[in-house]
Amino acid sequence: MAQDRKHIVIIGGNFAGISALQAITKQLPPKVDVTLIDSNDNFSWTPNIHEILSGVKTPGNVQICRKTLVHSLGGRFIQDRGTHIDHQKQTVTLSSGATLAFDALIKATGMPTSANNHPSTYTFRSASDALKISAKIDLLTRIKEQINIIIIGGGFTGVEVLGELLRQYQQSNKVKLALVEAGDRLVKTLPEVVSQDIVRLCDKSSASLYFNRRLSKQDNDAVYLSDDTKLPSDITIYTSGALLASMNSEQSPTIANYNQVNESLQSTESKLVLCAGDSASFSMNGLPLPKQSYYAQEMGKIAGVNALRLLSGKPLTSFSPKVKPVLLSFGDMNTYLVSGELVLASPALVSMKEALYQLGSQKVMSSMPLLQRGTVLLNQFKQSAQSALQSDGNPYLPGKVLHNSKVLQAGKHSDVQSLAQSAFATLLE
């Protein structure tokens, strides 16, 4: 970089990183360059990658070439991994040995998770993770009479992974499913009635749930819980950020750990470093901010804007998240819509989640050439149409939808109003 030019570096190219890049390039000054670093060449639409496990989606439906996306936004893409940040020298060292100088840095590395050395262990962070798990299940079901799959973590990801595996293997005697959650219920950031309904559905299925227990150790064919329960495991899927101490993070601790930030998303380590997405430790209403893609995108926007304001010496903008309605799917058995205290459950609500997926992916690709965007959209539409027509005992038939649709918890008038406002705002974006 020329000495009279400024340089913004973004580490991490998922929702927070891409949103930061979009915010920066939208008002990029002439003498400012921006570089995005990520070890993966594809951006994954992570809210839907669990559907790869059941074949409802393919990797091609939920992946976008990251290099093409970054270049279309006017940035530079480096496929590599950050290993060290020198705050005094204002440099980032990459795993290749290269060093990048920065005037402002955005850390958007996501939740620090990693697999251990056991061949049966998988994380669930990307479309490629989901594809590897699907391939392993397919292989094992061909050569074994029964396989055991253990899901660690009963948050959003764990529940949606379990739901898709039940969708695919509910009628199979060859696949046995279990989920382990350290707390006393599922998705603790949502009203308890959601957990209760999912437990009810699991009681009718072949899935086992283990609450108030943590993973204590693991070997190649079993996991051991904190109460000494031994669970046979051919495949162990980590959907939680808390892993065994023996595991090494994909990034070094200085890059990928949780980062304390102020109201402007500045790191407490350095005023020139901003953090966004799951790697930032931020609270809302006294509770940790939920690890959801829309919050990551909003944080990314603020981080991008503030990176430019840092360079120009302007006061920084505060990040003020608002509670938004939440959609949680549980395979083809149910989908939950939560707005404040209002909780609706219906298999038909999956169409709303599909619509958000279509709208959101097009928004991410808005800077890409029209032909490429059109090709991706066509593939998404074809896959969605095929999935809707392939079910034998289709849960979306009118009678079944009505039978399974209910108000799990009534909300306040303000909850309904918030839901309507959010839907309207989404359509206007």
Phi/psi zone of residue 250: left (φ > 0), alpha (ψ -120 to 50 degrees), beta? alpha
**Measured between alpha carbons, how far apart are the two ends of the chain, in Å?**
35
What pLDDT score was predicted for residue 256? 55
What is the C-alpha to C-alpha distance for residues 192 and 307, in angstroms, rounded to an integer?
Answer: 39
Token pair of 91 as six digits: 């440099």
Q: For residue 356, what are its two tokens? A: 């958000």
Domains and CATH numbers, the chain: 6-112+248-312 (3.50.50.60), 121-238 (3.50.50.60), 326-428 (no CATH)
Average pLDDT, consecutive stretches of 10 residues, N- to C-terminus, the chain (429 residues): 83 95 94 96 90 91 90 95 94 96 95 64 92 96 95 95 95 94 94 96 94 92 94 93 38 58 93 92 79 90 97 96 89 92 90 79 67 58 52 53 80 64 53
Beta bridge partners of 235: 149
CB atoms within 10 A of CB 332: 23
Residues 339 and 327: their CA atoms lie apart, in Å, by: 9
Instruction: Report d(CA 126, CA 270) in Å as an integer.
Output: 30
**Residue 381: phi, psi to the nearest 5?**
-65, -45
- Residue 198 pLDDT: 97
The answer for residues whose C-beta is within 8 angstroms of residue 212's C-beta and 6 or more apart is 181, 182, 183, 184
Q: C-alpha distances in angstroms, 226 versus 179, 211, 409? A: 14, 11, 34
Whether the CB-CB separation of 179 and 158 falls below 8 Å is answered with yes
Cα 329 from Cα 162, distance rounded (Å): 10
CA-to-CA distance for 201 and 404, rounded, in angstroms?
A: 11
The counts of H helices and E strands in the chain are: 12, 26
Kindly state the tokens that stand for 265: 């998303």
Do residues 275 and 265 lie in contact, with contact meaning Cβ atoms separated by under 8 Å? yes
Q: Which residue has the tokens 């921006």?
A: 34
**Non-local CB neighbours of 340 within 8 Å, separated by 6+ positions:** 323, 411, 412, 414, 415, 418
Q: Buried (b) or exposed (e) across 258-281, using 16+ Cβ within 10 A? A: bbebeebbbbeeeebbbbbbbbbe
The pLDDT, as a whole number, for residue 381 is 56
Amino acid code (one letter) for 325: P
Distance (Å, rounded) from C-alpha 36 to C-alpha 111? 18
